[in-house]
Amino acid sequence: MQGVPGSTTLTIPSPLLTGFFSFWNCIGLDVSGLTMDMVRPGFSHGTVTALNKNNFTVTLSNPSVYTFPTTPQAAWLHQAQAILSYDSATGRPLVNGEDIYALSPALALSVINTSTIVVEQPPWAPAMGMLGTEVIVRHQVYSFNAINVYSSTGVTLRDLTVFTIPGMGFLLVSCVDILLDTVRITKRPDLPMSLCADAVHMQCSRGFIIIRDSHFEGQGDDGLNIHGFFNEINATMASQGNEHRAMQGLTPTPLKSNQVVLDSNGRGPVSQRIFVGSLYEFRDRKSVQPYFTARLVAFAASTNVASFDQALPAQAQVRVCLGRSTPLVRDIVSV
């Protein structure tokens, strides 16, 4: 998918849409030559003019930008998922200020008039030092991303610019061979922040990861985050794994000596972070030191049963060991 560099601009005119593109199971994906922006950013900026232990009042710095439509599609604006003290003089978070992040559930937000909002204080730890300071209230942190790419091979993101979006700039999950070339996350002149979360976030990806001539600024979280996951063993043949699977309402099938059930740990489908054919290191939960390596030969997504090329040792016990993928990342280059 290609635009004309410098002249193809995609703008979300209202909170009705919250992202641009998602791609699944692509080969040779190429997205280039686009500028992406959102008229109403996913945050609001202003000064705290009153506060107590229950809530604080923010006078908005630019009411024409920080609007609050009342349509159902814009309900996500009427909440606060993060609160950040800000310093316009430096263009950075305020030194020794507040940074309350990724709240779940979100805090309640009330619109008093076009220039004033009231935000609930975090009930477990009210932020009482904000009076007179600037704050950025993020209404949404994750999920509303500019571009998502899942389970794809040969991914190229080239000559792309994102000014603001309510989530991450680019999320890549379980991809192989990634090139980011001249990718820019840039603050608009009228905004104190670009994105509400990471500029670039890659998880469980493999192969060549090359980032070249790129620039990330003003994002609410990581500039660049490349990581995998530990996979926790939830059942083995020795632990009578049928009990665990029966609790999930699955048909009990006896596990073999080379099989384990992996726990999702609330991080989404295990199938997105485990790769048949890859080597896995089994690590002690306390020391995180590896004690055994085996190759994954099969994975059943419906039951999270992983089968390896050899019988597992006695150390591979429920909730004692972690299987950490070694996904054969051949190179990570920042030019």
Q: Which residue has the higher pLDDT, 123 or 115?
A: 115
Q: Is the pLDDT of residue 59 over 50?
A: yes
pLDDT at res. 242: 47
The 3-class secondary structure across the chain, one letter per residue, is CECCCCCCEEEECCCCCCCCEEEECCECCEEEEEEEEECCCCEEEEEEEEECCCEEEEEECCCCCCCCCCCHHHHHHCEECEEEEEECCCCEECCCCCEECCCCCCEEEEEEECCEEEEECCCCCCCCCCCCCEEEEECCCCCCCCEEEECCEEEEEEEEEECCECCCCEEEECCEEEEEEEEEECCCCCCCCCECCCCEEEECCEEEEEEECCEECCCCCCCEEEECCEEEEEEECCCCCHHHHHHCCCCCCCCCCCEEEEECCCCCCHHHCCCCCCEEEEEECCCCCEEEEEEEEEEECCCCEEEECCCCCCCCCCCCEEEEEECCCCEEEEC
Which pLDDT value is given to residue 329? Answer: 36
Top-confidence residue, 185 or 253: 185
- pLDDT tens digit string along 272-285? 778 888 888 888 77
**Verdict on whether the full-model pTM lies above 0.95:** no
pLDDT higher than 70, residue 14 = no
> In angstroms, rounded to a whole number, what is the distance separating the alpha carbons of residues 257 and 15?
52
Model pLDDT for residues 211-231, shown as the tens digit of each residue: 999 999 999 999 999 988 778
What are the C-alpha distances in Å from 280 to residues 267, 292, 322? 19, 8, 10
How large a percentage of the chain has pLDDT more than 90?
A: 56
